Structure formats: C-alpha cells, structure tokens
A and B are shown apart, each in its own frame.
With several copies, the nearest count.
Chain A
Amino acid sequence: MNLDNLYQEVILDHYKNPLNKTLSENFDVQVHHINPSCGDEITLNLTLDGQTIKEITWDGVGCSISQASVSIASDLLMGKSLSEVESISEEFIELMQSKGKKTGDEAVLEDAVALAGVSQYPARIKCALLGWMAIKDATLQAVEKR
C-alpha cells in the first residue's frame, strides 16, 4: 500500500487551493457538521434553484482529505439536478466503501476519483464523506423547507 494512492496530486491541490471556501451571504440552508472522532468541522451553505443545486459554499477546518473532498464535491455538485446529485453521491459512497476494489468512473465523479485511495484506509473514509454528508443533509433540509 503506497501513501501516494491516498495523497494524490489532485487532492493536495484542492487542499491548498480549495474551491468555494467562502461562505455566501445568502443561502436557503446552513448546516454544521462535525467528525467527532477527529474534531474536523465544516459549515456549509446551500441554495436551490428549482430542482437544481444553485450554490454551495463552505468553511471549515480539517485534514487534507476532508478539505479536498468538500472542495471537489462543492465544485462537482453545483449546478447539478437533485437526482444527479443523489446518483453521483451514491456512486461516491460506493467507491469509498470498496476497500480499494473500485477506481471510480471519472466521467461521473470527475476529480473525486482521486479520492479512490481513501477506501483502503478505513479510518479516513469519514474524513472524505464529511462534506458529502453535509451537502446531502443541506439538500434534504432545503427541499423540506419549500
């Protein structure tokens, strides 16, 4: 097992230069998620436009995996329809649980395939999922709110 599988260039890039890491002033829903096992925290704002996610912005502290993952997810899922968001998220979760057996479909997951290596480090899966779970939660709340 090579550490470079975990810390791919793409991940370190997102970690250093995270996307959408400025909380927007306006939003439909704001959520705050914590990873209690390591103390990582994230605040995430989400706005819907009809059946589409219009905007995701966030702020937080955490390891490279959790920060890169939310950066990638916010970029990937913004502008997608709710059903696309659901299927992409499911595919990502499956990738995370694959114990190194899947590489991920780049056509669907784009940069998120770089996180494939995480699935070989069970303690890190929660890091990679933190942002995705926040987005899922925020989306559900936003839909409910209407």
Chain B
Amino acid sequence: MSFNPLTVRDDFPIFNRTIRDGKRLVYLDSGATSQKPQVVIDSELDFYRLHNAAVHRGAHQLAEEATDLFEGARSKLAEFLGAETDEVIFTKGATESLNLIAYAMGNSPRGNRFHIAEGDRIVLTEMEHHANLIPWQQLAARTGAELIWFNVTADGRLDLSQISELITSKTKVVALTHQSNVLGTINPLDEIVNAAHAVGAVVVLDACQSVPHMKVDVKELGVDFLAFSGHKALGPTGVGIMWSKRELLAELPPFLTGGSMIADVTMTTATWAKAPAKFEAGVPNMAQAVGLGVAIDYLSAIGMTEIAAHEHALTSDLLGKLLEHKEIRVVGPHTMDNRGGALSFTVADIHPHDLGQFLDSQGIAVRTGHHCAWPLTRSLGVPATTRASLYLYNSIEDNDALISGIHSAMKYFGK
C-alpha cells in the first residue's frame, strides 16, 4: 500500500459523522455507491455558484465557461480511459449507457452493421447485473434474436469451455461484466474479445465494478463499448459514461432524441450531429459531469495502480479472515487471482437481511440480497447473500470490524 487510507478518509466528509448513536462509520458498500471527496462536492457547488448556464447553447460568458468545464470533463474522462475525446458520451449512469447501446442497436435499420434480427445471437453471462441483462432480453424479444449465455462455475468463474458453441457467425453482440458485483470475479477478456471479433461481433463491457478500482484502458482491452457509473467512482450521482470507438459511434443510430443532437430538423425529418452530441440530447447533467471529471482527477492523483494494489491487499486479508470460519460460506473465488474487492458470503443460517441489520447496529454498512443479479444468486443456490465491498478509503480495521461484527451477530442470533 503506497498511500494511507486513513489520510484518504480525511478527504471524505461523510466519515466525520457517526452511525446509530455514535458508532464509527464502517462503509463496506462501495459496490452500491461510493462516498465522495470534498473536492468533488465542491466542484458541483462551484459550477452552480459561478458558471451555471446551458452548455453549447449561449453566446454569453456563463455559457462559454460552462461549456469549457463540461468539455474539459469529457477530455479528462477520455484521457483516463485511453480514449478519444469525442468517443466519451455522458449519460445518467451505467443503466442508461447499457440501455442506450441496446436500444440504439434496436434502432439500426437493415444494412447497418448493428442491425439485429431473427437468427442473430446475443451472448451474455450468467453473472450479469440486471442492467446488463434485461435490456438485452428486451432487445431479443423485440427483434426475435436468440439470447444465450456463459455459465458460471461453482467457484464463481466464467465457464469458457463452451465459447465456440456460444460465439459463432450468428453472434452479433457479446455483453459481459468486467468484474462481477456479487462474486468479485474479474473476467478474462482476451479470449472472448478475440472470439467475438473473429466472427464480426461487438463486445459490450459493463465496467461498473472495474473502472473505479483498476486501470482500465479501452484500447488495451480491445472491447467495442464500455459503460460505467460515476457515482461508484467517487463522482456525483446522476452521471455515467458510455464509450465506444469513433467509427462505431458514427454508424450507431441515436437513442434519446431532442435538442442539441441534430444536424437539421423539419417537422417530419431529422438528421444527426456527430458524436458525442448525437448521443447527448437535451441540456446535459452539467454539474455532475464536471464533478465526475474532478473525481477522475482525484483518483488519478492517487493512482489507479496504487488503488488496485491497496484493494488487493485488503481483499486478500478479508478473504482469509472469512475463510477461516466454517460457518461462513464465501460465494465467489477463494483465491486472489483475477479477483476484486466484492466479497459475498452467508453466515450459518442467519438470513443476510438480519445479519446486515445487526452489522448496521454496529455502524457497519454492507449490502444484502441478490445484488441485482438474481439469476446468478439463484443458480448458486443462495437467493440472498451479504456483500462487503472495499474501496480506497477502507482499511484493515474495517475488515476487523466486519469480522468482529459477524461474531457478535452469531452470538445475538444464537448460532
């Protein structure tokens, strides 16, 4: 660990408050949403206080400043992801980003490379978050395409053995998560990307749980589309990113239509501006985009490699401590290779909801349930789990608080 999480924590004002009558906040729910450093909060505030105006629309000074800040945030995101500036689309979150991709493909006319029809295949994995599952179910239902998926092995890894049956000349899209929000599994992309590209399919990556936690370079990964949410990456709520390659964005039809995304409009026809404008109808979430840019600056200043190393060490520590107990069942990889800091588990037969409630009474925030990956938890035979998810502001003492909280819960519920 090359930085001190306790010093980092000082940058996050929420850690000054206490939980349930004076308990220290042990926040282990960053997989759901991350906390925000003061600089990010201040950047939204400063936008409203000093520069607020509709971007791209006014010839006045406020509009110029707002546009500069907004487009500056786009450049930051592009650099952070190893992308071109006009390849970065601001959305309201990963859910919108993924729906954008699926709906825009659904809007593709015959002849367009994204056109999907009966006989085509959409390939997913069994570990997808609902946000990267249901939009594809709906697209399949609308187009008649077939929906198929990679299974998950008992130890929580993707079963690649059927790759050649799944990814065939019929396959148009392979959509998968980079890191499972339930299992912590980091999926191997090279083999999938190569197989997909060999048959002319595009790869859509749900990077919600990777971009905030490790260095992600879109060119190195070789994927075609990428989505994530700002609020899980120290950014404001209400902003996310959809990235794709310039030549794909040129061919993809738009999704939301309205102001600022057009080239020309009559009562009955419209033509589109170039990306990114083409995909950003309406007055954008300006203050939030600017805030996300500042979050990215903050992460970069600490260093994504350092953050990943910190989380690796913390995860390894917590995984070891969980696995020591025979009453605790860790769902997901028990080894640290290609494994991130989402740890799901069950404790004896204490229902996760009860465990979570008990931990809350100790100031420990975890998430319980199916974590919006219901088909996965069902297939693993655990309709609900408790999940601890780690981030840069967590420390070994948070791990220890969780373990001791679990012990107390077992006593409380008489196990």
Contacts and interface: CB of A to CB of B under 8 A. Distances in A.
Interface stretch (A21-29, A61-69, A90-98, A100-108): A61-69
Interface stretch (A50-58, A76-84, A122-130): A122-130
B159 interface: no
B57 A63 contact: no
A72 interface: no
Interface stretch (B4-12, B59-67, B121-129, B240-248): B59-67
A38 B353 contact: yes
A34 B271 CA distance: 11
Contacts of A37: 56-57, 260, 369
A38 B368 contact: yes
Contacts of B217: none
Given A38-B369, A38-B384, A39-B374, A121 B357 contact: yes
Interface string B400-415: 0000000000001110
A39 B369 contact: yes
A63 B273 contact: no
Contacts of B358: 3
A7 to B, nearest CB: 8
Given A64-B354, A127-B353, A36 B58 contact: no
- By size class, the interface of chain B is 20 to 34
Nearest to A122: B64
A62 B57 contact: no
B67 A123 contact: yes
A62 B57 CA distance: 16
Interface in B242-295: 260, 262-264, 273
A121 B60 CA distance: 9
A64 B368 CA distance: 14
B370 interface: yes
B149 to A, nearest CB: 20
B67 A122 contact: yes
B353 A63 contact: yes
B20 interface: yes
Which residue among A12, A39, A62, A63 has the maximum number of chain B CB atoms within 10 Å of its CB?
A39
Contacts of A124: 59, 353, 357
Interface in B323-352: 351-352
A114 to B, nearest CB: 15
B64 A121 contact: yes
B191 interface: no
A6 interface: yes
A37 B67 CA distance: 13
Contacts of A66: 353
Contacts of B260: 37
Contacts of B354: 7, 63-65
Contact of A36 (B67, B262, B361): B262
A122 B377 CA distance: 25
B297 interface: no
A37 to B, nearest CB: 6
B351 A34 contact: no
B397 interface: no
A117 to B, nearest CB: 11
A66 B354 CA distance: 10
B200 interface: no
A129 to B, nearest CB: 14
B291 to A, nearest CB: 21
Given A1-B20, A3-B357, A36-B273, A123 B384 contact: no
A6 B357 contact: yes
Nearest to A99: B68
A41 B383 contact: yes
B383 A123 contact: no
B165 interface: no
B377 A39 contact: yes
Interface in B25-73: 56-59, 63-64, 67-68
Given A38-B353, A38-B368, A39-B374, A123 B58 contact: yes
Contact of A39 (B20, B63, B361, B384): B384
Nearest to B55: A123
B220 interface: no
A1 B374 CA distance: 32
A70 to B, nearest CB: 14
A40 B369 CA distance: 9
Given A1-B21, A39-B383, A61-B383, A122 B353 contact: no
Contacts of A12: 413-414
Interface of B: 20-21, 56-59, 63-64, 67-68, 260, 262-264, 273, 351-354, 357-358, 361, 368-370, 374, 377, 383-384, 412-414
Given A7-B412, A38-B370, A64-B353, 6 more contacts: A34-B263, A39-B374, A40-B383, A62-B353, A65-B354, A124-B357
12 contacts: A1-B21, A3-B412, A6-B357, A38-B384, A41-B383, A62-B353, A64-B351, A65-B353, A121-B357, A122-B67, A123-B63, A127-B353
